[in-house]
Chain A
Amino acid sequence: MEDNNFSWKRKHLTGLYDLTVEEISFILKTAEAFEEVLKRDVKKVPTLRGKSVLTLFYEPSTRTRTSFEMAAKILSADTINVSVATSSVTKGETLKDTIKNFQTMGIDAIVIRHQSSGAAEFVSKFAKLSIINGGDGWHEHPTQALLDLLTIKEYKKAISGLKVAIVGDVLHSRVARSNLFALKKLDNEVRFVGPKTFVPEYFKDFGAVVCHSIEDGLEDADVVMMLRIQKERMGKGFYPTEREYAQFFGLNKNTIKFAKPDAIIMHPGPVNRGLEISSDILDGERSVVLSQVSKGVAVRMAVLYLLLTGGDVEDSNK
């Protein structure tokens, strides 16, 4: 946060598409500062004392929800988790009404995960509190891409000028979109790799290189990011069998050879071992999958901090 010329203005984080390079860099810089806090014995700073953060998840989640909650707690915010299964949503309450109710209770920020693309942007249009997109449909998952950037930065010592191969079900992936938008802003080559059913040509309009063979897609790559394959897509004609998918588009000791020898292997989780990635690669030395998870807390601390304070609160503990 040595950049004194920059001041944070946004109240919501719904996606990376609209963010400037400066904003992305500022979040990452802020996250790196918070990584120091995470290394302490006592992981607690008073930055967001008196603020309340609610996680509202309409889809299951392990990592995102837990790391948002942990991030908020380390910053001394109060946290509340609402699961849709136990909320009024099952009684037919609309998303708009649900958000307005929480707003009335005095919640300061809502982290929302929703199966509908655009859900976070939709609520941000009327919400007076901060909305953080924890993943909306196929659209964006901004904090995932930010933690991916932070991971790449640590291992590759750069977040521009790299060749990044994102492999799998790109069409239905919010992780792929958020990474594409951010990585292109930062001048990387982004390759979307997978069968045509998962990688439509339209992504070229947003700067992606489209590859339908894993050998071509991985060639000379610095970063290989595998996406989760949802098994229910098999019955819809997107791929014939798991066996065939793993053979032609999975990452294993044969296909990894096409990437650079020092390429890092990433995956947003949860992983289907043996489908999109073989266990030996996932557990191997080039895999940074668990580092990604550890970066998640710092990134989410940075996002909460910036959105809820505008970066104005001077924190003596830092």
Chain B
Amino acid sequence: MKIVINDATIVTSTGVFRKNLLIKDGRIVRIESVKIRSTNADCFIEDKNLLVFPGFIDMHVHLREPGYEYKEDIASGLKAAFNGGFVGVACMANTNPVNDNATVTNFIKCKADSLGLPVSVYPIAAITKGLMGENLVEMGELKEAGAVAFSDDGMPVSNADILRRAMEYADSFGMPVICHSEEPTLSKYGVMNEGRVSTLLGLKGIPKEAEILGIYKDLCIARLTNARVHIAHVSTKEGITLIRKAKKEGIKVTCETCPHYFTLTEEAMLGYNSYAKVNPPLRTEDDVEAIKQALADGTIDVIASDHAPHHKDEKEIEIDKAAFGMIGLETMVPLTLELVRQGVIDFKDMAEKLSRKPHQILGLKPPTIKVGEEAVLTIVNPTEEWLLNEENIASKSKNTPFLGARLVGKAKYIVKKGELFEI
């Protein structure tokens, strides 16, 4: 199989350059300034609007299978990932049964492999059995089965000693622990960010301090253990400040935020909009600005979606009973491109945060665009305008506050395993 991509802008973590690419049998064989002849090419693209990125990965996704197939299953989740331009996803462990043993990890991997989609699945196993915060999972065996990290996402490990031992034990296997940083006694029964809007709507607030305390605790344990820790979905200005300081001190911490935390504020909850109900909750303009700053200065390493599918019946109810979470695989590329248009980050940063860093954190080889390397690419049209509606969402669930929004930018192709896949 021979693929020729001419006149495209190639973006990597280190540079942006207009080149012409030849891919043969899955490898990049030529990167040239002169156009490559399309004769004999099986696939040929020539479009100067396109950006060629190293393949994107979303390191925070809920695929819901096994157990919650009415929300999403591995097939629909991977179609959504493909649709969004991802060559890989890391899926969280809060399935039913919980992914706390090699059998579940194997099941997820086998199921994904059988689909023939160009999206790899990297299971994240639980930290503790049943996400109960008590007994450690068999981390060695889970690593051998293909788990890439450990996380009790959604159910933060509250016992600091267990968390300490988890980080130490995981680090012995070179595996990172992903922390959902939250102090649950402060956030219990909360519906949205505590502040002006929660006061207006009469909803129980979740103070920022629930996240700040959680991050502080997780960073303390990371310092104690000298283990590698990744903080999921950071939403607060103060949380960012703590992480920035920890990085300076040499604590082995990385972190992510999600597009909704740099795109929306608590105002999105007005009118009791359950589609904007997420955990951690949407914060204020001040936090959004701090997150953008942290994306720009590199404090935030990764943009991940926290793709959290929920059935309509779990959203079209009273707001305090509605489930937390929104889908995000299919809106991540346009919402991140918006940051580039705003001048917050550039295309290189986008390659860094959607490809190189998340691969690295999960212990995976980041795809690179170099002669001789395997071709794993996400090809994006950054200016294409499109309308997000229920029909063009591949995910089984449609729970996103961006429904009906005009988005700019779309992933158009994926190159993987020697083939060109049109999205």
Interface residues of A (CB under 8 A from B): 17, 94-96, 114, 116-119, 121-122, 136-140, 174, 177, 200, 202-203, 205-206
Contact = CB atoms under 8 A, between A and B. Distances in A.
A173 to B, nearest CB: 9
B203 A138 contact: yes
Interface in B368-419: none
B271 A116 contact: no
A121 B196 contact: no
A65 B316 CA distance: 27
A94 B203 contact: no
B199 A121 contact: no
A140 B317 CA distance: 18
Nearest to B318: A116
A177 B203 CA distance: 12
B407 to A, nearest CB: 25
B83 to A, nearest CB: 29
5 A-B pairs closest in CB distance:
A139-B202, A118-B272, A138-B202, A116-B318, A202-B199
Contacts of A136: 202
Contacts of A203: 199
B313 A117 contact: no
24 contacts: A94-B313, A95-B318, A96-B316, A114-B318, A117-B201, A117-B203, A118-B272, A118-B318, A118-B319, A121-B272, A122-B317, A137-B320, A138-B202, A138-B203, A139-B202, A139-B203, A177-B200, A200-B199, A202-B195, A202-B196, A202-B198, A202-B199, A205-B199, A206-B199
B321 interface: yes
Contacts of B317: 94-96, 122
Contacts of B271: 121
A205 B194 CA distance: 13
A119 B319 CA distance: 8
B199 A116 contact: no
B202 A140 contact: yes
Given A94-B313, A202-B195, A202-B196, A119 B202 contact: no
A307 B48 CA distance: 59
B320 A116 contact: yes
Given A17-B200, A94-B317, A122-B318, 8 more contacts: A116-B318, A117-B201, A118-B203, A119-B318, A137-B320, A138-B203, A202-B195, A202-B198
Contacts of A174: 202
Nearest to A200: B199
A96 B272 CA distance: 15
Which of A116, A136, A140 is most buried by chain B, counting CB atoms within 10 A of its CB? A116
Interface string B317-360: 11111000000000000000000000000000000000000000
A139 B320 contact: no
A118 B321 CA distance: 11
Contacts of B313: 94
Nearest to A136: B202
B196 A205 contact: yes
A136 B202 CA distance: 9
Contacts of A95: 317-318
A204 B317 CA distance: 30
B321 A116 contact: yes
A205 B284 CA distance: 14
A125 to B, nearest CB: 8
A117 B196 contact: no
Contact of B201 (A94, A114, A139, A205): A139
Contacts of A177: 200, 202
Nearest to A125: B271
Contacts of A116: 318-321
Contacts of B316: 96
Nearest to A176: B202
A116 B321 CA distance: 8
A118 B199 contact: no
A140 B199 CA distance: 11
B320 to A, nearest CB: 5
Contacts of A119: 318
Contacts of A17: 200
Query: B194, B201, B313, B318: which has the most chain A beta carbons within 10 Å?
Result: B318
A114 B317 CA distance: 12
A14 to B, nearest CB: 10
- With a 10 A CB-CB cut-off, give which of A94, A117, A206 has the most chain B CB atoms: A117
A3 to B, nearest CB: 30
Interface string B163-206: 00000000000000000000000000000001110111111000
Most chain-B CB neighbours within 10 Å: which of A121, A122, A205? A122
B403 to A, nearest CB: 15
Contacts of B203: 117-118, 137-139
Contacts of A117: 201-203, 272, 319-320
A74 to B, nearest CB: 31
A140 B272 CA distance: 13
B166 to A, nearest CB: 31
A204 to B, nearest CB: 9
Q: In this complex, which of B202, B272, B316 has the most chain A Cβ atoms within 10 angstroms of its Cβ?
A: B202
Contacts of A121: 271-272
Contacts of B201: 117-118, 139
Nearest to A139: B202
Contacts of B320: 116-117, 137
Interface in B258-314: 271-272, 313
Nearest to A173: B202
A50 to B, nearest CB: 32
